[in-house]
Amino acid sequence: MINRYSTPEMRHLWSLKRKFEIWRDIEIAACEYWATEGRITAGELDDIRNKSHFTVERISEIENEIHHDVIAFLTALAENIGPASKHVHFGLTSSDVGDTAQMALIQEAGRLIDAAFGVLLKNLYTFAQEHKDLIVAGRTHGVHAEPTTLGLKFLGYYAELKRARERLNHALEDCRFGKISGAVGTYSQMPPELETFVLKKLNLKIEPVSTQVIPRDRHAYFMQAIALAGQALYRLMQEIRLMQRTEGRELEEPFQKGQKGSSAMPHKRNPILAERICGLARVLSGYATTAEFNIPLWHERDISHSGAERVILPDATSLLEYMLLKSAFVVENLHVHEKNCERVLDATHGLLFSSRALLTVTEKTQMSREEAYAIVQQAAMATWENPDTGNLRTRLEAHPKLNAITPTDWDVVFDARSFLAHVDVIFARIKGP
């Protein structure tokens, strides 16, 4: 992943140096097992442990000649270990090292992502609580529906992202598997006890039935969980973008000192972070599809998945952590323009109270629901077309068939808070971080 969309910690995690360090840990652990079986002397094991140095540059130099990264890695180690290197990689195949190390790296990446999730969820819950009672227009199809609160909107995003975190952690647990079972997974050159020994050191579980590789449905599940988390962020950031439009400007993402919005228009304050996160979420969905196509490898294995995973796993984990941290920043510093929220509520001249009006007309008169609906809809359509000549309330109050409805009744109909009496009930269902 390019530096622009990744943190230094995640870049280090997916660096070649870090990958080779885990490869070395696996090779040393396998040698430690062989030492317990008397195949390697104490002196040889000391050489393996203490002299297995490498440089990325040397491994790359060898790989450029032989075109095999694991053999290049082993050759570079052997140059430093000396004669005891004959025991390194004994009985193993490349995927024993590469697949197992990759699962270990996924676990490390998952811990960074989970920490970023924690920051965002804390900020979202705090924002929702602080704005629990700030009434805003609810919308369906982009059109005013009934009133809601800004806090309730964001509580929904909090709940969704909390589910996304749980889903990702479940997928991470599904990726807590390694394999040290040799070519085609039959333990033909080593006992199963070696696998148990090595994987315990890496805090990984044994893949119950491996081929030459760990089955790729595990990786696909992980990538799908990442993509769903991305879509949850997309939905949150899209809401902020929609509420930042000039016509409403109920919300506004932070615009920092010295920031410029447009090369041509000095007045611009654009939701660039929210837009960036929405765009990157699309990338994550594409990576999830790639991971699905990696599942049906030929027979016991091919390497059609290998090149794709070198791109999608570092990129997807890097992107998600970055998106979570940027989203946390946006939410923590989000500007709320309460006067604009109030103005937008009144923009449709009372139309967002039509459902309560319908129920009141039905309840307070002898009309059928169909007749009541027709009267309220007629008043609503007139308000849409000619708001200057009256709002929904004045039109209904003036209707000759609605004399039985008192001004007090109409006060209740057109009181936004009467729609939101049970917001506390919804908040009580959702636990904070």
**Is 262 among the residues known to form the active site?**
yes
* Single-letter residue type at 282: R
- The residues of the chain scoring below 70 in pLDDT are 1, 258, 260-264, 266-268
Task: Tell if the pTM clears 0.85, that is, is over it.
Answer: yes
The Cα diameter of the chain in Å comes to 104
* Single-letter residue type at 338: E
Query: CATH topology for 94-254+261-342?
Result: Fumarase C; Chain A, domain 2 (1.20.200)
Q: Which CATH architecture has domain 1-90?
A: Orthogonal Bundle (1.10)
Per-residue model confidence (pLDDT) at position 262:
60
As a whole number of angstroms, the distance between CA 177 and CA 19 comes to 17
Among 67, 141, 299, 422, the one annotated catalytic: 141
As a whole number of angstroms, the distance between CA 234 and CA 277 comes to 6
Residue 187 tokens read as 């333990």
Per-residue model confidence (pLDDT) at position 383:
96
Angle among Cα 430, 431, 433 to the nearest 5 degrees reads 130
Please name which of 314, 396, 287, 284 lies closest in space to residue 351, comparing C-alpha atoms.
Answer: 396
**Is 15 among the residues known to form the active site?**
no
* Segments making up each domain of the chain, as ranges: 1-90, 94-254+261-342, 351-413
Per-residue model confidence (pLDDT) at position 133:
96
Per-residue model confidence (pLDDT) at position 264:
62
Per-residue model confidence (pLDDT) at position 270:
85
As a whole number of angstroms, the distance between CA 21 and CA 53 comes to 9
3-state secondary structure 214-232: CCCHHHHHHHHHHHHHHHH
Q: Are the C-beta atoms of residues 343 and 135 closer than 8 Å to each other?
A: no
Per-residue model confidence (pLDDT) at position 392:
96
Looking at every residue in the chain, the average pLDDT score rounds to 95
Bridge-partner residues for 336, per DSSP?
251
Per-residue model confidence (pLDDT) at position 268:
65
The β-bridge relationship of strands 205-206 and 177-178 is: parallel
Among 15, 60, 188, 262, the one annotated catalytic: 262
